[in-house]
């Protein structure tokens, strides 16, 4: 297999009231994928064959519903990894605190026998 990374997008999402890690993660994924058009996958007619590595950085990685976040991506096989990161702004106090989450979306495709080549 000659799998190549073809896409890397970064997004940020926030839950302004409530510290909901999944809500903020879904917003971060949405932000990331709205920045790209995966035309290479459509041109080769294989969007369902891409493998996606989705990294979520948030203050409470265990609180993320990985299945819900994976379902936010419309194509491919999605692997979700949650790590500690992001930000909690505790300046307002209580439920008014803001949680920020960062999403890194990387898409891979087996390019062997593909109609295009990638240069080094």
Q: What is the pLDDT of residue 107?
A: 87
**pTM for the model:** 0.83
Cα separation of 3 and 118, whole Å? 11
CATH number assigned to the domain covering 3-110: 3.30.1330.20
What SS3 class is residue 64? coil
The full set of domain ranges for the chain reads: 3-110
pLDDT digits (tens, 9 = 90+) for 58-75: 999 999 999 999 999 888
Place of tokens 């009231």: 17
Give the ranges where the chain is alpha helix by DSSP (H).
21-33, 39-43, 66-70
DSSP-derived letter for residue 99 is E
pLDDT digits (tens, 9 = 90+) for 70-98: 999 888 899 999 999 998 887 665 666 78
Give me the sign of the Cα torsion angle 67, 69, 75, 78: negative
């Amino acid at each position: 297999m000659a799998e190549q990374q073809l896409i890397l997008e970064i997004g940020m999402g926030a839950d302004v009231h409530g510290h909901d890690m999944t809500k903020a993660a879904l917003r971060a994924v949405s932000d990331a994928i709205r920045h790209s058009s995966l035309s290479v996958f459509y041109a080769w007619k294989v969007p369902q064959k891409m493998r996606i590595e989705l990294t979520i950085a948030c203050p409470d990685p265990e609180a993320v519903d990985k299945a819900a976040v994976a379902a936010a991506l419309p194509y491919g096989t999605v692997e979700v990894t949650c790590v500690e990161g992001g930000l909690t702004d505790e300046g307002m106090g209580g439920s008014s605190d803001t949680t920020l989450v960062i999403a890194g979306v990387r898409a891979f495709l087996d390019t062997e026998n593909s109609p295009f080549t990638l240069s080094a």
